[in-house]
Amino acid sequence: MGIKIVHYINQFYGGIGGEDKADYAPEKISGVKGPGMGLQAAFGDKATISSTIICGDSYFNENIDVATGLILEMIKEDKPDVFVAGPAFNAGRYGVACGAVCKAVSENLNIPVVTGMYIENPGADMYKKDAYMIETANSAAGMKDALAKIAALALKFGEGQAIGTPESEGYMPRGVRRNIFCEDRGAKRAVDMLIQKLKGEEIITEYPMPVFDRVEPAKPVVDVRKAKIAIVSSGGPVPKGNPDHIEASSASKFGKYSIAGIDDLNPENGQTAHGGYDPVYANQDLDRVIPVDILREMEKNGEIGSLHDFYYSTVGNGTSVNNSKKFAAEIAKDLIDSNVDAVILTST
């Protein structure tokens, strides 16, 4: 008998519907659906997808425990050899669902699990240690390649073959180290590597260091009494009425707002656009988020050189790292053009 697979997909790929059907409770159907067809084709006659489980992305993420329990029961009935979820590409809730289900299946049913998603999918960082996760493109344009890799890895599990390295199989490193025997001793390998490096050849380290994206502290300002200070904030401060309609969460933009001639913020000239915290206090007095009143006084008293006549603002609530980086790079450019010396950045 061939290898038996159960496949998990979301409401969209299951043909149930889009965002309006995201609260769809888990359902099991027999055979394949949506991307399962391509997956089955990649398996050929070596494996069979016995059932497909479809669940709405919001339903899963809002009811993780209940949904996981229901799905586990559905999988258990089939007694599959391997469980496959997704691929989820860059769909965040779908990625989290694939990762969470894989983790539960692996821990509770002791069945090998394979899923796939884009490296920046939040589900990747959350669950890549709990599941074999094929790294996919960020959209379904990469479906064919993703399914081929998922199928190949799932077959290896089903056939009981040894699983290769992350590079050779295409899955994300899980932080697992395995002892292996090498032809040469460590000292020779190290010297060989050094020679390769000296020759300018590419070397592959045996122990990659973790990546910490850190920025060295910038040099301090010599004398703030001569410095031009700018205000930047992720707390969503905006002029009254939020003229650029900065979103209360998952901001797609930042604003640049003039405070020329403004010595104090009040309910007439400022408010917050930020969702997720009680805005009452910021709306009463926006100096509580960006200290314009104090910095203006300090400017008059000569405690700082000057206050830049614009502040830059976005909403930090749920805003992607990529967007934040992009906003900050544009803000930095403007700060350079404005001869700013140092920045006070406030967050709520």
Partner 1 sequence: MVKEIERAGFPVVHMCTVVPISLTVGANRIIPTVAIPYPLGNPAMNLTDEKELRRKLVKKALKALETPITEQTVF
Binding residues (CB under 8 A) for partner 1: these are 213-224, 227, 229, 232, 234-235, 277-282, 284-285, 287-291, 293-295, 297-298, 303-304, 314, 324-325, 327-329, 331-333, 335-336, 340-348
Shortest separation between residue 342's beta carbon and partner 1, angstroms: 5
Q: Which is nearer to partner 1, 70 or 229 (CB)?
A: 229
Can you list the alpha helix ranges (DSSP code H) found in the chain?
35-43, 57-62, 64-78, 92-108, 122-127, 143-158, 166-169, 186-198, 280-284, 292-301, 321-337
Q: Which is nearer to partner 1, 139 or 266 (CB)?
A: 266
Q: Residue 236 in contact with residue 348, Cβ under 8 Å?
A: yes
Q: Which is nearer to partner 1, 145 or 297 (CB)?
A: 297
Can you list the alpha helix ranges (DSSP code H) found in 63-121?
64-78, 92-108
At residue 285, what is the residue type?
D
β-pairing, 47-55 with 27-30? antiparallel
Shortest separation between residue 96's beta carbon and partner 1, angstroms: 20
Shortest separation between residue 286's beta carbon and partner 1, angstroms: 10
Distance from C-alpha of 247 to C-alpha of 238, rounded to nearest angstrom? 11
Q: Which two tokens stand for residue 244?
A: 């650029």
Q: Residue 33 in contact with residue 9, Cβ under 8 Å?
A: yes
Shortest separation between residue 209's beta carbon and partner 1, angstroms: 17
Shortest separation between residue 268's beta carbon and partner 1, angstroms: 17
Distance from C-alpha of 136 to C-alpha of 250, rounded to nearest angstrom? 24
Q: Which is nearer to partner 1, 1 or 209 (CB)?
A: 209
Distance from C-alpha of 346 to C-alpha of 348, rounded to nearest angstrom? 7
Q: Which is nearer to partner 1, 98 or 273 (CB)?
A: 273
Q: Which residues contact 153 (CB under 8 A, 6 or more apart)?
A: 114, 132, 134, 163, 169, 170, 171
Residue 160 region by backbone torsions, left for phi larger than 0, else alpha for psi between -120 and 50, else beta? left
Q: Which is nearer to partner 1, 115 or 314 (CB)?
A: 314
Q: Which is nearer to partner 1, 83 or 310 (CB)?
A: 310
Closest residue by Cα to residue 233 from 208, 261, 265: 265
Shortest separation between residue 156's beta carbon and partner 1, angstroms: 37
Q: Which is nearer to partner 1, 176 or 336 (CB)?
A: 336
Shortest separation between residue 269's beta carbon and partner 1, angstroms: 16
Shortest separation between residue 234's beta carbon and partner 1, angstroms: 6
